[in-house]
Structure formats: structure tokens, C-alpha cells
Amino acid sequence: MKLRSISNWLQNRATDVAVAMLTVMFLSFILQIFFRYVMRNPLGWTQEITLTMWLWLVFWGAAFMLKDRDHISFDILYLAVSQKVRRIFALVSAVALVAGFVASLPATYDYVEFMSIRRSSSLRIRLDIVFSVYLIFAVAIIARYSLRAFSLVRGADPDADAGPEPKV
């Protein structure tokens, strides 16, 4: 199906970006150690790059890479109930997440925008830009769980979006 292949393509590009972030984070940390201990002349900007990439990796990954199964969750009760009850559970989850993230979105936007008054310590990047990844994350969560709520209402299997089976 065409829509499915577009979605896969996007998923793969999101993974490329995450891999790039993790690689940059790792390399800049190694560079920092090399300059500190081998060259005895520490660089100022490596720590900031490392932390920024880590922040982006967490929210970018949580927005675009994590299926429901990848998230850390307490699934004892969920796995024990019938398919029908699971659908209700999944629907309540999705609605609660959409409600919570929508309700806090305006204030969250306001906070991120407010942070333009400050720049990062070494590279002087405006912090609203650094923190904007949280907005991307919040919007992605709202979109993903809205779609999930609609498909559940229309009778979809609650475990369809769950990703691969447990790796056990």
C-alpha cells in the first residue's frame, strides 16, 4: 500500500536522524576526553554538543521511534485482560494522553518561546531553539494518540501498533 510505504520511508529517515544524533553525541564526548587527557587542553563546546544531542535524542526518539511496546510500561494488568477490555484500556490511555498534552501545549509553547531570552553557554545558541524539540515531541504524541484513539473507536486491534513481539 502506498500510504504504508510512505510511512515506512518517514520512519526510516527519523531513525537516520536519531542515529546521527547518537553518533555526534558519542564522538563529541570522545573528543572531549581526548582533548582533556591527551592534549591536556580541554575544549569548551564538546560538553554542550553532547548534552544537546542527548536532549534531542530523548525527545526525537520518544516522538518518532518508540512504538507502544518500546516504551517502559507497567503491563501486568494489560496483558491479563481480554481483547475487549484491552481496547477500552488503550482508548482511555490515548484519550488521557491527548487531553494532557493538548491542555499543556499553549503553556509549553509559551515557556519554550520565553527561553529565547537566554543563550547556551558555549555556542551561544538561543535556548528556545534547543528546547523546541519538546514541542515537536508534544505535537507528535498528540497526533499519534489521536490517530490511535480514532482507529480504536473504529474497531482496530489495540495491539496492532504495538511493534514487534517482546524480544524474549
Q: Which of residues 80-119 bind other proteins (CB under 8 A)?
A: 80, 89-90, 92-93, 96-97, 99-101, 103-104, 106-112, 114-115, 117-119
Among 61, 87, 148, 152, binds other proteins (CB under 8 A): 61
Cα-based distances in Å from 166 to 28, 69, 70: 33, 8, 9
Per DSSP, 36 falls in state I
Nearest to 8 by CA among 74, 80, 64: 64
Is 152 a residue that touches other proteins (CB under 8 A)?
no
Among 8, 10, 13, 54, binds other proteins (CB under 8 A): 54
From 1-9, 131-139, 147-155, span contacting other proteins (CB under 8 A): 131-139
Q: In angstroms, what is the minimal distance from the CB of 122 to other proteins?
A: 6
Q: In angstroms, what is the minimal distance from the CB of 5 to other proteins?
A: 19
Q: In angstroms, what is the minimal distance from the CB of 98 to other proteins?
A: 10
| Three-state secondary-structure class, residue 119 | strand
Dihedral, 95, 3, 13, 125 alpha carbons, nearest 10? -50
- Residue 102 and residue 158: Cα distance in Å, rounded? 22
